[in-house]
Chains A and B, each alone.
Chain A
Amino acid sequence: DAKTTQPTSMDCAEGRAANLPCNHSTISGNEYVYWYRQIHSQGPQYIIHGLKNNETNEMASLIITEDRKSSTLILPHATLRDTAVYYCIVRVSYSGAGSYQLTFGKGTKLSVIP
């Protein structure tokens, strides 16, 4: 799986948008970008994933550049409960069913400040 690079930490004011960048310059055409977050010692929580189009769900938006070498996770209105470590993960998707494990790298510790 392609390696990802994320900032070690970021701060965001409560109520503002949090924009978390991720570089994945070696991503392959069959690899998806996934975002998970982990709130202190809890199980990682799925946020969103995408292949090449921008995606939006009730939690966040995912913006993937046209060359797919980087992406940005956007939390539109950050709250204190969004304080967590955010992981950007690139995962290959094969043609058949099976298990495709997530490889966690060094995520971004997002601190939402009152």
Chain B
Amino acid sequence: AAGVIQSPRHLIKEKRETATLKCYPIPRHDTVYWYQQGPGQDPQFLISFYEKMQSDKGSIPDRFSAQQFSDYHSELNMSSLELGDSALYFCASSLGRDRRGEAFFGQGTRLTVV
């Protein structure tokens, strides 16, 4: 079965650079979630989208922005990168119409800021 696809899998950026992470949800899923997981930490919710509209917002820095496109894929844009942004970034998708629908996670993008 198709899963959530994230790209790239690994990314190395320098401080103050920008990065764009992409997420392709499971076909027919209309909801996307972004999570950040720092070293030794638990996943922290950043932001979510339902039907191409922002749905919920968590602890996403102002330097980050995200959107969901007409084909339901999503991109997380990160600017003015800081060393502390080094983390695993996970995307998850679900079928929003099913209020009990479980969210399925991608394998993540490992961002390293040097």
Contacts and interface: CB of A to CB of B under 8 A. Distances in A.
Interface in B32-74: 32-33, 35, 42-45, 48-50, 55-56, 58
Contacts of B4: 43
Given A42-B108, A99-B48, A93 B100 contact: yes
Contacts, number: 72
B59 to A, nearest CB: 11
B11 interface: no
Interface string A39-50: 001111110010
B100 A32 contact: yes
Which secondary structure characterizes the binding site on chain B?
strand
Interface of B: 4, 31-33, 35, 42-45, 48-50, 55-56, 58, 88, 90, 92, 94, 96-100, 102-108, 110
